Amino acid sequence: MQQIPLVDLKRQYSSIEKEIDDSVKKVLESGQFILGNEVSSLEREVAEYIGVKHAIGVASGTDALHLSLLACGIGEGDEVITTPFTFIATAEAISYCGAKPVFVDIDINSYNIDPSKIEGKVTKKTKAIIPVHMYGYTAEMDKILEIAKRHNLKVIEDCAQAFGTEYKSKKIGGIGDIGAFSFFPSKNLGAFGDGGIVVTNNEGIADKIKILRVHGSKQKYIHQIVGYNSRLDEIQAAILRVKLKKIDEWNEMRRKNASIYNNLLNKLPVQLPKEAGKSHIYHVYTIRIKNRDEFIKFLSENGISSAIHYPVPIPAQEAYKHLGYLESDLPNSYKAAREVVSLPMFPELKREEIEKVCDVVKRFTP
């Protein structure tokens, strides 16, 4: 039985193979592999695309968050409000700074942090809010920014899953104080390895991140602070520059695929993604369903790949149990973690493959 994959990066590569190969060959022939013309060009192009003044390439999306927090002065004893329903890197970046992640429950329909519950968690120690644009769907940024302004908090957008999506005609990442992106291979804009980028309109923050990513150095071998080795390399930047030209087209292909799913599944007893007037670029196409484990098994038996994003809320992970959160503190996050399942989604997914997935979903009896 031929398996329908969750993601197929080989199809994407085959569609841009010559451009990718030529871009990599150009870097190899240049002999310049770290912080050269490809990185600086990508930084300019991403800044222009997002609509911000500065973009700084770093080694990963996790580093993008970590260095963003450090550049905002987050440190020991501080608190940062974020969502419990996300990949653990969001919380890890806070912990790396010596700060404490404070978790606020999600809206069960958007899977994003619920702004109505944020203000009740603000204390004198709170220094920032990290909203995550889950699955490629924008968080309620206006409400979050209002709260941040009232309490003098920084807003760091975790855009790892949402390159290219918009909130009220503005590209996400350029709405808060900082936007942190991941170029992990499976992302909407993915490298052929790890990579990330930070975007901001704040020149001081941008300068700080540029120093932090190169061992705390502004001038070679002269170090102002203790920094990190977190540089996006030239080959990845060259690959990303090719892909950046295609991102809007690919995101629109994802949206069309999601529309096919929605039309075919809308009468079933499953919870489909909701857009509610905001932009969604479907990094993943995630539904909620009862008896998920049996459902995933049924999909697999019928040649359909799937995944769970994410099966365990961060406060329930062994690494964060010491914070003492209960399920009753975050009921929507726990409900989502028990019920979500992601179906195959990538730009090159064929209509007949989506139809086969939906046929299998329809045949499942909870």
| pLDDT tens sequence across 41-80 | 999 999 999 999 999 999 999 999 999 999 999 999 999 9
Amino acid at 348: E
What digits encode the pLDDT tens for the residues 314-357?
999 999 999 999 999 999 999 999 999 999 999 999 999 999 99
Amino acid at 132: V
pLDDT, residue 2, reads 77
Domains of the chain: 9-244 (3.40.640.10), 247-363 (3.90.1150.10)
The answer to whether 84 and 325 have CB atoms below 8 angstroms apart is yes
pTM, full prediction: 0.97
Going from the C-alpha of 117 to that of each of 102, 114, 158, 326, 332, the distances in angstroms are 12, 6, 19, 16, 12
pLDDT band at 277 (very low <50, low <70, confident <90, very high): low
Please calculate the CA angle 238-59-243 and round it to the nearest 5 degrees.
30
Of 158, 161, 139, 2, nearest to 91 by C-alpha is 158
